[in-house]
Amino acid sequence: MILNSVTVENFRSFYGEQTINFADDSKRNTTIIYALNGVGKTNLLNAVLWCLHGEFSPSFTNHNDILNWEAARRGRKSYHVSLHLEDSGQQYAIKRTGGENENFKVFMIEEDGNSRELKGSPSMFVNSIIPRDMAGYFINDGEGSDLKVSQNGMISIRRSIRDILGFNVAEKTLRDLSTIKKEVRDELKRFDKDHELSRIEEKIQSFDDSISKAKADFESNKSALELYEDQLDTVEKRLGNSSSAVVDQLIKQRDSAQKNRSARANQLQSLEAQKVSLIREYSWVAFAHKLSDEALDFIDEAELKGTIPAPFNLQLVKDILEREECVCGACIKPGTMAFEKINELTKEAADPDLLHRLQKARSRLTAVKTLSPQAYDRIEKNFKDERAVRDEIQALDAELEDISNQILQLDDAEIRKLEKDRGLLKIKIRETQRSVVRLEENIKSLTKERSTLQDEASRIEGLSPRAKVLKHKLNVIEGVETQIAKELEEAESSIHGILKEKIDSFLDKYLRQDYKVLITSDLNLCLQDRNGKAVPPSGGQGAILSFIYISSLIAIARERRDLDSTILTPGAIAPLIFDAPFSKLDPKYSPNIARELPKLVDQLIILMYQDEGKNVTSTFLEEGKLGKEYYFCEQIAGERGDREIHELNFGDQSVVVTEYGSAIDKVVVKEVVRND
Amino acid sequence: MDQDIDKLKKLAKELILVERKSFYGSEPERERLAKMRTLIDAVSKELGDDS
């Protein structure tokens, strides 16, 4: 979208109709609007935002008091803003009227200049060009959106990233699905006579709550861990850069001990894993060891006595019974005592199956006997190795502690402080690592228990037909929730790398090497100075971070303009309208930012008072980017008296921005015409 | 199974469309949940019949 012009009528400080034609040339794409503080910069920015979406920026107060005071005094009841814009080669006009006659219309401007009202919903049209949840980042009042700092100096950017990724509609859908699911569960209570299913569903709901809380804790601990690790890295680098030979020697010693410890820790880990596999491999041998001795002795003895297997063959016994004649020639008739006794022998007679089983038992018992000493040796070696490595680790820990104590006793306050910080960070890291592991296990166990409950619910039988329908409906809703959540998760996890790349690139363009930005995996952001110390985003540094961050968001929104997703809202290409962006910025960085900002967007609109030595206007001019300049002239009813006259300089000419003796109080928009 | 997932994906898409219209102000907010319930009921019935 390119904004061609804005017209405001009786909107806050603007009495009557005022129009600004923006620079819409692709090369000279920058417009600067100069105005004293309190004269109308924020009003103009909000007029654009309100015309598009009927909303205002966070710092704009008194939303019900928009009608210009002078216009109201003269009986006017309404105010209006219209925007002329171009999107995908087509011209449009958006008109919004507020006050007594509220009205919102979008017109398509035909080639012959005639306008035709757009059919369908005007708000859907505007949102398709610049979604309202992204508009605040493009039309920025300089308050820095959601840059709220946490205790450890981190800024959560998850919300704004989700806005730019187009999460809001999907998230609202998930909230609505949760409401519908609750309704279904309530209904289920009425139809589930013995309340078996509804009780389980209630438990599932409480598990869902616990899982989401545990996940949030897990993410915040992981983020803190990343920050501590980064801080530790910086502290260690600073210690390593010390000019003292003693410190240098101790640090080298520590590095080597630490390297060694880390190798031993890895060794210990693999020995522990080996122990588990040895136990798996040989546990049955250990348990069967005594049994194998006794059982083999028993088999050998029984074999020797000829009791196992029985000393007569099954086939022989069967033949005698069938022929009714013994091997000695005696007649064996059925029903006789001899026949019955021989028949009894079939139960114990040696058959091929029994022989096979016997062989198998012998071979297993022999294996136990053979493996037993091997298992003993291998397990004992593992235990011995593990003990030795543990001892080494203990010795290395003592050495590391000793080195740290030596550093803490050095006659250098800065080194002592760094070492103390290092020690504290190490403790924080250890504690946070434990929390992360604990939370991870907690999430796993909660998820497992939830899945057991779900299995339990699916096995319940004897439900009434209506309860069955409701149960099925719950499954469908959960299925849809999973599909939506999956896509959101994938989009969010892919953005980390993209954001890091963007931030690094803007950091390099705007600031060179003075600062670095840390982004944790759960989208917390922190501006750090060269020493790795978190810089609170207030004042000048806040302005830097704001520029870097907003620039990155806009670049991401631009790349996602043609996103092919059914779940996420596509991004936007829109003008960047910045209110007083350079006011808090260090003059050292202003020219760099003024050089890069017009390249970032198709159109740039800057609202500011004056340059104040920051070389913003001159940089825009040098770069050939400045297309239009306007200033707001405040016309005041009444005599000047002792009051100061404010002037603005443009090259060799100066203009007055506060005029006295006007018939009424009003702000007039005037275009700057440079002589050069 | 795959067919069920396709139906759930289609339902997710339709629900998002309903939400989008209400979120961006082209349709009244109050009708949103009713439309969603209808869509869910239809797919739930369809999947129930299939099984």
Q: Is the peptide bond before A309 cis (omega within 30 degrees of 0)?
A: yes
β-bridge pairing A115-117 and A103-109? antiparallel
Tokens 């919102």 map to which residue? Answer: A104
Interface of B with A in 12-51 (CB under 8 A): 12-13, 15-16, 19-21, 23-27, 32-33, 36-37, 40-41, 43-44, 47-48
The answer to whether residues A222 and A520 touch, using CB atoms and an 8 Å cutoff, is yes
- Which residues have CB under 8 Å from B21's CB, separation 6+? A121, A124, B27
Question: A135 CA to chain B: closest CA distance, Å?
Answer: 12
Asked if B4's CB is within 8 angstroms of A566's CB, the reply is no
How does residue A28 score in pLDDT terms, banded at 50, 70 and 90? very high
Q: Tell me the C-alpha distance between A614 and A400, whole Å.
A: 51
Calculate how close chain A gets to B48, using CA atoms only, in Å: 7
Q: Give the C-alpha separation, A339 to A323, whole Å.
A: 11
CB contact under 8 A, A123 and B24: yes
Cβ–Cβ gap B8/A172 under 8 Å: no
pLDDT, mean of residues A24-45 = 92
Stretch 452-471 of chain A: residues touching chain B, C-beta under 8 Å: 469
Q: Which two tokens stand for residue A444?
A: 């796993």
Per-residue pLDDT band for A674 (boundaries 50, 70, 90) equals confident
Residues 120-149 of A with CB under 8 A from B: 120-121, 123-124, 127, 131-132
Q: Does B6 touch chain A (CB under 8 A)?
A: no
Interchain CB contact of A329 with B (< 8 Å):
no
Rounded to 5 degrees, φ, ψ at A332 are -120, 95
Q: Do A480 and B44 touch (CB under 8 A)?
A: no
Could you say which of B19, B21, B40 has the minimum Cβ distance to residue A180?
B40
Render pLDDT for A268-299 as a digit per residue (tens, 0 to 9): 999 999 999 999 988 888 788 777 777 777 77
Residue A309, pLDDT score? 66
Residue-wise pLDDT tens digits, A157-206: 888 888 888 999 999 999 999 999 989 988 888 887 778 888 888 898 88
- 3-state SS, residue A233: helix
Q: Is the predicted pLDDT of residue A672 greater than 80, yes or no? A: yes
Mean pLDDT is lowest, of A190-194, A247-251, A340-344, A551-555, for: A190-194
CB B31 within 8 A of CB A181: no
Residues B20 and A51: their CA atoms lie apart, in Å, by 20
**B8 and chain A in contact, CB less than 8 A:** yes
Kindly tell me if the per-residue pLDDT of B19 is higher than 50: yes
Segments of A571-665 assigned E as strands: 576-579, 604-608, 626-636, 647-650, 653-656, 658-660
What is the DSSP code (8-state) at residue A364? H
Handedness of CA B6, B11, B14, B15 (dihedral sign): negative
Give the pTM.
Answer: 0.70
Q: Which residue of A has its CA nearest to B41?
A: A473
Which of A340-349, A400-409, A418-427, A432-441 comes out lowest in average pLDDT? A340-349
The verdict on a CB contact (< 8 Å) between B48 and A121 is no
Q: Measuring CA to CA, which residue among A538, A503, A540, A539 is closest to residue A518?
A: A503
Does residue A592 contact residue A567 with C-beta atoms inside 8 Å?
Answer: no
Percent of chain A predicted with pLDDT > 90: 43
